[in-house]
Amino acid sequence: MTQLALSPQLAADLNQVDQVVRERMRSQRGVVRVLGPYVGSGERLRAALALLAARLGDYSLERVLHAASAIELIHAAISVHAQLVDSAAPHSGAEPHSDLFGQGVPLMIGDYLFALSAGEMARGPDARVIAYFAQAVQRYCEGELSPVRALVPAAQAREQYLAYIGDVAGAMCEAACKAGMATGGGAAAQIEALGCFGYELGVAAQIAADVRVYAPGDHGSPSPSAALRRSQITLPLIYAASHEPALVALVAAPDEDAQDDTQLVAAVAAVQRHGVAPARAEAQQHVEAALEHLRPFAAHPVYPEIVALAWSVVA
Protein backbone atom coordinates (compact mmCIF):
# COMPACT_ATOMS: atom_id res chain seq x y z
CA MET A 1 0.00 0.00 0.00
CA THR A 2 1.21 3.50 -0.81
CA GLN A 3 2.24 5.72 2.11
CA LEU A 4 1.10 9.16 1.02
CA ALA A 5 2.96 12.31 2.03
CA LEU A 6 0.42 14.08 4.26
CA SER A 7 0.90 17.37 6.06
CA PRO A 8 -0.56 17.64 9.58
CA GLN A 9 -3.44 19.79 8.30
CA LEU A 10 -4.26 17.39 5.48
CA ALA A 11 -4.12 14.42 7.84
CA ALA A 12 -6.46 16.21 10.24
CA ASP A 13 -8.91 17.04 7.46
CA LEU A 14 -8.82 13.43 6.24
CA ASN A 15 -9.72 12.33 9.75
CA GLN A 16 -12.77 14.58 9.46
CA VAL A 17 -13.67 12.75 6.26
CA ASP A 18 -13.40 9.43 8.08
CA GLN A 19 -15.66 10.73 10.84
CA VAL A 20 -18.32 11.82 8.37
CA VAL A 21 -18.27 8.44 6.63
CA ARG A 22 -18.63 6.57 9.90
CA GLU A 23 -21.33 8.95 11.12
CA ARG A 24 -23.44 8.09 8.10
CA MET A 25 -23.32 4.42 9.08
CA ARG A 26 -23.60 4.81 12.84
CA SER A 27 -27.26 3.81 13.06
CA GLN A 28 -26.61 0.48 11.35
CA ARG A 29 -24.22 -1.45 13.57
CA GLY A 30 -24.42 -4.63 11.52
CA VAL A 31 -23.53 -2.69 8.40
CA VAL A 32 -20.59 -1.02 10.15
CA ARG A 33 -19.25 -4.43 11.17
CA VAL A 34 -19.35 -5.72 7.60
CA LEU A 35 -18.08 -2.51 6.00
CA GLY A 36 -15.17 -2.03 8.38
CA PRO A 37 -12.46 -3.38 6.03
CA TYR A 38 -13.63 -1.17 3.15
CA VAL A 39 -14.29 2.24 4.71
CA GLY A 40 -11.89 4.61 6.44
CA SER A 41 -8.84 2.55 5.56
CA GLY A 42 -6.26 2.63 2.81
CA GLU A 43 -4.34 5.60 1.50
CA ARG A 44 -7.44 7.83 0.90
CA LEU A 45 -5.81 9.33 -2.19
CA ARG A 46 -9.04 10.57 -3.77
CA ALA A 47 -10.23 12.37 -0.66
CA ALA A 48 -6.77 13.90 -0.22
CA LEU A 49 -6.85 15.19 -3.79
CA ALA A 50 -10.27 16.75 -3.28
CA LEU A 51 -9.10 18.52 -0.14
CA LEU A 52 -5.84 19.76 -1.67
CA ALA A 53 -7.57 20.97 -4.82
CA ALA A 54 -10.01 22.95 -2.69
CA ARG A 55 -7.11 24.51 -0.78
CA LEU A 56 -5.83 25.96 -4.06
CA GLY A 57 -8.96 28.12 -4.05
CA ASP A 58 -11.07 29.69 -1.31
CA TYR A 59 -10.79 26.82 1.14
CA SER A 60 -13.61 25.80 3.42
CA LEU A 61 -13.53 22.30 4.88
CA GLU A 62 -17.29 22.44 5.36
CA ARG A 63 -17.85 23.03 1.62
CA VAL A 64 -15.50 20.30 0.38
CA LEU A 65 -16.12 17.76 3.14
CA HIS A 66 -19.16 16.19 1.50
CA ALA A 67 -17.39 15.75 -1.83
CA ALA A 68 -14.31 14.22 -0.19
CA SER A 69 -16.49 11.84 1.85
CA ALA A 70 -18.56 10.88 -1.19
CA ILE A 71 -15.55 9.99 -3.31
CA GLU A 72 -14.22 7.71 -0.58
CA LEU A 73 -17.60 5.98 -0.33
CA ILE A 74 -17.62 5.52 -4.10
CA HIS A 75 -14.11 4.07 -3.99
CA ALA A 76 -15.16 1.68 -1.22
CA ALA A 77 -18.23 0.60 -3.20
CA ILE A 78 -16.11 -0.06 -6.27
CA SER A 79 -13.63 -2.06 -4.18
CA VAL A 80 -16.40 -4.29 -2.83
CA HIS A 81 -17.85 -4.91 -6.28
CA ALA A 82 -14.40 -5.52 -7.78
CA GLN A 83 -13.60 -8.15 -5.17
CA LEU A 84 -16.92 -9.83 -5.83
CA VAL A 85 -16.19 -9.96 -9.56
CA ASP A 86 -12.63 -11.20 -8.98
CA SER A 87 -13.77 -14.01 -6.69
CA ALA A 88 -16.24 -15.17 -9.32
CA ALA A 89 -13.67 -15.18 -12.14
CA PRO A 90 -12.16 -18.52 -13.17
CA HIS A 91 -8.76 -19.21 -11.54
CA SER A 92 -8.94 -15.94 -9.59
CA GLY A 93 -7.20 -17.45 -6.60
CA ALA A 94 -9.60 -15.55 -4.34
CA GLU A 95 -11.79 -17.10 -1.71
CA PRO A 96 -15.39 -17.10 -2.94
CA HIS A 97 -17.58 -14.65 -1.09
CA SER A 98 -20.29 -17.28 -0.81
CA ASP A 99 -18.20 -18.99 1.87
CA LEU A 100 -18.80 -16.01 4.15
CA PHE A 101 -21.99 -14.23 3.17
CA GLY A 102 -23.30 -15.50 -0.12
CA GLN A 103 -22.61 -13.42 -3.19
CA GLY A 104 -25.78 -11.35 -2.77
CA VAL A 105 -24.60 -9.71 0.44
CA PRO A 106 -21.34 -8.20 -0.92
CA LEU A 107 -23.34 -6.94 -3.88
CA MET A 108 -25.77 -5.24 -1.51
CA ILE A 109 -22.87 -3.80 0.51
CA GLY A 110 -21.49 -2.16 -2.62
CA ASP A 111 -24.93 -0.85 -3.54
CA TYR A 112 -25.37 0.46 0.00
CA LEU A 113 -22.10 2.36 -0.24
CA PHE A 114 -23.13 3.85 -3.58
CA ALA A 115 -26.39 4.97 -1.98
CA LEU A 116 -24.48 6.57 0.90
CA SER A 117 -22.25 8.39 -1.58
CA ALA A 118 -25.30 9.72 -3.42
CA GLY A 119 -26.74 11.02 -0.18
CA GLU A 120 -23.43 12.64 0.68
CA MET A 121 -23.23 14.39 -2.68
CA ALA A 122 -26.75 15.72 -2.19
CA ARG A 123 -25.61 17.40 1.05
CA GLY A 124 -22.89 19.36 -0.78
CA PRO A 125 -23.34 22.95 -1.90
CA ASP A 126 -22.27 22.44 -5.54
CA ALA A 127 -24.40 20.28 -7.84
CA ARG A 128 -21.53 19.99 -10.34
CA VAL A 129 -19.90 17.49 -8.01
CA ILE A 130 -22.72 15.04 -8.70
CA ALA A 131 -22.02 15.23 -12.42
CA TYR A 132 -18.25 14.82 -11.95
CA PHE A 133 -18.67 11.70 -9.83
CA ALA A 134 -21.43 10.18 -11.95
CA GLN A 135 -19.26 10.52 -15.05
CA ALA A 136 -16.31 8.95 -13.22
CA VAL A 137 -18.36 5.93 -12.15
CA GLN A 138 -19.67 5.56 -15.69
CA ARG A 139 -16.14 5.59 -17.06
CA TYR A 140 -15.02 3.11 -14.41
CA CYS A 141 -17.72 0.66 -15.50
CA GLU A 142 -16.85 1.15 -19.17
CA GLY A 143 -13.20 0.49 -18.39
CA GLU A 144 -13.90 -2.69 -16.44
CA LEU A 145 -15.79 -3.99 -19.46
CA SER A 146 -12.76 -3.39 -21.69
CA PRO A 147 -9.68 -4.91 -20.03
CA VAL A 148 -6.51 -5.77 -21.93
CA ARG A 149 -7.02 -9.24 -23.36
CA ALA A 150 -3.77 -9.99 -25.21
CA LEU A 151 -0.07 -9.20 -24.78
CA VAL A 152 0.60 -8.90 -28.49
CA PRO A 153 1.01 -6.80 -30.44
CA ALA A 154 2.81 -4.93 -27.65
CA ALA A 155 1.96 -1.41 -28.87
CA GLN A 156 -1.73 -2.25 -28.97
CA ALA A 157 -1.60 -3.90 -25.54
CA ARG A 158 0.05 -0.81 -24.05
CA GLU A 159 -2.52 1.49 -25.67
CA GLN A 160 -5.39 -0.64 -24.35
CA TYR A 161 -3.81 -0.78 -20.89
CA LEU A 162 -3.46 3.00 -20.67
CA ALA A 163 -7.05 3.46 -21.83
CA TYR A 164 -8.21 0.90 -19.27
CA ILE A 165 -6.44 2.44 -16.27
CA GLY A 166 -7.44 5.89 -17.46
CA ASP A 167 -11.05 4.81 -17.00
CA VAL A 168 -10.73 2.77 -13.81
CA ALA A 169 -8.18 4.96 -11.99
CA GLY A 170 -7.54 8.25 -13.77
CA ALA A 171 -11.19 9.27 -14.09
CA MET A 172 -11.87 8.92 -10.35
CA CYS A 173 -8.88 11.08 -9.37
CA GLU A 174 -9.85 13.56 -12.08
CA ALA A 175 -13.34 13.84 -10.59
CA ALA A 176 -11.97 14.28 -7.07
CA CYS A 177 -9.72 17.16 -8.16
CA LYS A 178 -12.46 18.86 -10.17
CA ALA A 179 -14.87 18.58 -7.26
CA GLY A 180 -12.33 20.07 -4.87
CA MET A 181 -11.48 22.97 -7.14
CA ALA A 182 -15.18 23.64 -7.81
CA THR A 183 -16.02 23.76 -4.10
CA GLY A 184 -13.04 26.06 -3.66
CA GLY A 185 -14.61 28.54 -6.07
CA GLY A 186 -12.21 27.91 -8.94
CA ALA A 187 -12.82 29.23 -12.43
CA ALA A 188 -13.68 26.85 -15.26
CA ALA A 189 -10.09 26.82 -16.56
CA GLN A 190 -8.77 26.05 -13.08
CA ILE A 191 -11.24 23.20 -12.62
CA GLU A 192 -10.18 21.76 -15.97
CA ALA A 193 -6.48 22.06 -15.09
CA LEU A 194 -7.00 20.27 -11.78
CA GLY A 195 -8.97 17.58 -13.57
CA CYS A 196 -6.10 16.97 -15.98
CA PHE A 197 -3.68 16.84 -13.05
CA GLY A 198 -5.86 14.31 -11.26
CA TYR A 199 -6.26 12.13 -14.33
CA GLU A 200 -2.51 11.86 -14.94
CA LEU A 201 -1.83 11.24 -11.26
CA GLY A 202 -4.48 8.52 -11.13
CA VAL A 203 -2.85 6.80 -14.09
CA ALA A 204 0.55 7.10 -12.40
CA ALA A 205 -0.87 5.64 -9.18
CA GLN A 206 -2.30 2.61 -10.97
CA ILE A 207 0.90 1.92 -12.88
CA ALA A 208 2.81 2.19 -9.60
CA ALA A 209 0.40 -0.24 -7.95
CA ASP A 210 0.87 -2.70 -10.82
CA VAL A 211 4.64 -2.33 -10.50
CA ARG A 212 4.49 -3.10 -6.77
CA VAL A 213 2.87 -6.46 -7.52
CA TYR A 214 6.12 -7.58 -9.16
CA ALA A 215 8.73 -5.41 -7.45
CA PRO A 216 11.28 -7.55 -5.59
CA GLY A 217 10.82 -7.38 -1.84
CA ASP A 218 7.31 -5.93 -2.05
CA HIS A 219 4.71 -8.17 -0.47
CA GLY A 220 1.55 -6.63 -1.80
CA SER A 221 -1.72 -8.10 -2.93
CA PRO A 222 -2.25 -9.83 -5.26
CA SER A 223 0.93 -11.86 -5.38
CA PRO A 224 2.82 -11.94 -8.69
CA SER A 225 1.89 -15.59 -9.23
CA ALA A 226 -1.80 -14.87 -8.57
CA ALA A 227 -1.73 -12.01 -11.07
CA LEU A 228 -0.22 -14.31 -13.69
CA ARG A 229 -2.70 -17.10 -12.96
CA ARG A 230 -5.49 -14.62 -13.55
CA SER A 231 -3.81 -13.55 -16.82
CA GLN A 232 -3.94 -9.98 -15.51
CA ILE A 233 -2.18 -7.92 -18.16
CA THR A 234 -0.47 -4.86 -16.73
CA LEU A 235 2.31 -2.59 -17.92
CA PRO A 236 5.23 -4.47 -16.31
CA LEU A 237 4.03 -7.66 -17.99
CA ILE A 238 3.60 -5.92 -21.35
CA TYR A 239 7.15 -4.58 -21.25
CA ALA A 240 8.58 -7.92 -20.13
CA ALA A 241 6.79 -9.87 -22.87
CA SER A 242 8.74 -7.91 -25.48
CA HIS A 243 11.90 -9.55 -24.10
CA GLU A 244 10.45 -12.91 -23.04
CA PRO A 245 8.04 -14.31 -25.67
CA ALA A 246 7.28 -17.28 -23.39
CA LEU A 247 5.19 -14.92 -21.27
CA VAL A 248 2.72 -14.55 -24.12
CA ALA A 249 1.98 -18.26 -24.15
CA LEU A 250 1.81 -18.41 -20.36
CA VAL A 251 -0.75 -15.62 -20.11
CA ALA A 252 -2.77 -17.11 -22.96
CA ALA A 253 -2.90 -20.54 -21.24
CA PRO A 254 -6.53 -21.64 -21.17
CA ASP A 255 -6.49 -23.04 -17.66
CA GLU A 256 -4.57 -23.08 -14.43
CA ASP A 257 -3.11 -26.53 -15.10
CA ALA A 258 -1.06 -25.07 -17.95
CA GLN A 259 0.69 -22.74 -15.49
CA ASP A 260 2.86 -24.82 -13.18
CA ASP A 261 4.83 -23.36 -10.30
CA THR A 262 8.18 -23.55 -12.09
CA GLN A 263 6.83 -21.58 -15.04
CA LEU A 264 5.28 -18.99 -12.74
CA VAL A 265 8.51 -18.47 -10.79
CA ALA A 266 10.44 -18.01 -14.04
CA ALA A 267 7.78 -15.65 -15.37
CA VAL A 268 7.84 -13.48 -12.25
CA ALA A 269 11.64 -13.26 -12.49
CA ALA A 270 11.34 -12.24 -16.15
CA VAL A 271 8.90 -9.47 -15.31
CA GLN A 272 11.19 -8.26 -12.55
CA ARG A 273 14.14 -8.18 -14.96
CA HIS A 274 12.48 -6.55 -17.93
CA GLY A 275 9.18 -4.98 -16.83
CA VAL A 276 9.49 -3.32 -13.44
CA ALA A 277 12.04 -0.61 -14.28
CA PRO A 278 10.46 0.72 -17.51
CA ALA A 279 6.95 0.61 -16.01
CA ARG A 280 8.15 2.50 -12.94
CA ALA A 281 9.78 5.08 -15.20
CA GLU A 282 6.51 5.50 -17.08
CA ALA A 283 4.63 6.06 -13.82
CA GLN A 284 7.10 8.83 -12.99
CA GLN A 285 6.54 10.36 -16.42
CA HIS A 286 2.83 10.57 -15.70
CA VAL A 287 3.55 12.35 -12.41
CA GLU A 288 5.65 14.87 -14.34
CA ALA A 289 2.81 15.29 -16.85
CA ALA A 290 0.37 15.80 -13.99
CA LEU A 291 2.49 18.51 -12.42
CA GLU A 292 2.71 20.37 -15.72
CA HIS A 293 -1.00 21.13 -15.35
CA LEU A 294 -0.32 22.75 -11.96
CA ARG A 295 2.20 25.31 -13.24
CA PRO A 296 -0.32 28.19 -12.88
CA PHE A 297 -0.44 27.38 -9.14
CA ALA A 298 3.34 27.17 -8.63
CA ALA A 299 3.41 30.27 -6.40
CA HIS A 300 0.56 29.03 -4.20
CA PRO A 301 1.57 28.03 -0.63
CA VAL A 302 -0.12 24.63 -1.05
CA TYR A 303 1.77 23.79 -4.25
CA PRO A 304 4.80 22.12 -2.57
CA GLU A 305 2.42 19.95 -0.55
CA ILE A 306 0.67 18.76 -3.69
CA VAL A 307 4.00 18.05 -5.37
CA ALA A 308 5.10 15.97 -2.38
CA LEU A 309 1.83 14.03 -2.42
CA ALA A 310 2.12 13.41 -6.16
CA TRP A 311 5.60 11.95 -5.93
CA SER A 312 4.70 9.84 -2.91
CA VAL A 313 2.11 8.09 -5.08
CA VAL A 314 4.89 6.43 -7.10
CA ALA A 315 7.43 6.09 -4.31
AA identity, residue 69: S
State yes or no: pLDDT of 14 exceeds 80.
Answer: yes
Q: Is 43 helix (H, G, I), strand (E, B) or coil?
A: coil
State yes or no: pLDDT of 31 exceeds 70.
Answer: no
What are the residue ranges of helices labelled H in the chain?
Answer: 8-25, 29-35, 45-55, 61-88, 104-123, 128-144, 154-165, 171-183, 188-214, 224-229, 235-241, 246-251, 261-274, 276-292, 303-313
d(CA 126, CA 134) in angstroms, rounded, equals 14
CA quadruple 89, 95, 96, 97: dihedral, nearest 10: -120
AA identity, residue 299: A
Find the range with the poorest average confidence among 62-71, 89-98, 174-183, 256-265.
89-98
Find the range with the poorest average confidence among 74-88, 99-113, 226-240.
99-113
State yes or no: pLDDT of 107 exceeds 70.
Answer: yes
| 267, 261 contact by CB (below 8 A) | no
Per-chain mean pLDDT for the chain: 87
What's the whole-number mean pLDDT along residues 292-305?
97
Between 22 and 58, name the one with better pLDDT.
58
| 202, 156 contact by CB (below 8 A) | no
Q: How confident is the model at residue 94 (pLDDT cuts 50, 70, 90)?
A: very low
| 230, 91 contact by CB (below 8 A) | yes
- pLDDT of the residue at 254: 58
- pLDDT of the residue at 110: 80
Other C-beta atoms closer than 10 Å to the C-beta of 227 total: 24
- Terminal-residue alpha carbon distance, the chain: 11
- What are the φ/ψ torsions at residue 60 (nearest 5 degrees)? -140, 115
Between 265 and 258, name the one with better pLDDT.
265
| 56, 302 contact by CB (below 8 A) | yes
Q: Is 13 helix (H, G, I), strand (E, B) or coil?
A: helix
In terms of Cα–Cα distance, which of 201, 311, 2, 226 is closest to 234? 226
Q: How confident is the model at residue 218 (pLDDT cuts 50, 70, 90)?
A: low
AA identity, residue 256: E
- pLDDT of the residue at 233: 95
| 80, 109 contact by CB (below 8 A) | yes
State yes or no: pLDDT of 181 exceeds 60.
Answer: yes
- pLDDT of the residue at 42: 62
- pLDDT of the residue at 133: 96
Between 29 and 25, name the one with better pLDDT.
25
Structural domains in the chain plus CATH codes = 8-313 (1.10.600.10)
- pLDDT of the residue at 93: 45
Please enumerate in sequence order all residues whose Cβ is within 8 A of that of 279, keeping only pairs 6 or more positions apart, or say none.
Answer: 207, 210, 211, 234, 235, 236, 239
In terms of Cα–Cα distance, which of 143, 165, 136 is closest to 49? 136
Query: Rounded to the nearest 5 degrees, what angle is found at the Cα of 47, between the Cα atoms of 127 and 33?
Result: 105
- What are the φ/ψ torsions at residue 38 (nearest 5 degrees)? -105, -20
pTM: 0.89
- pLDDT of the residue at 24: 80
Percentage of the chain modeled with pLDDT above 90? 64
d(CA 303, CA 275) in angstroms, rounded, equals 32
d(CA 101, CA 41) in angstroms, rounded, equals 21
State yes or no: pLDDT of 4 exceeds 70.
Answer: yes
What's the whole-number mean pLDDT along residues 223-229?
84
What's the whole-number mean pLDDT along residues 27-49?
69
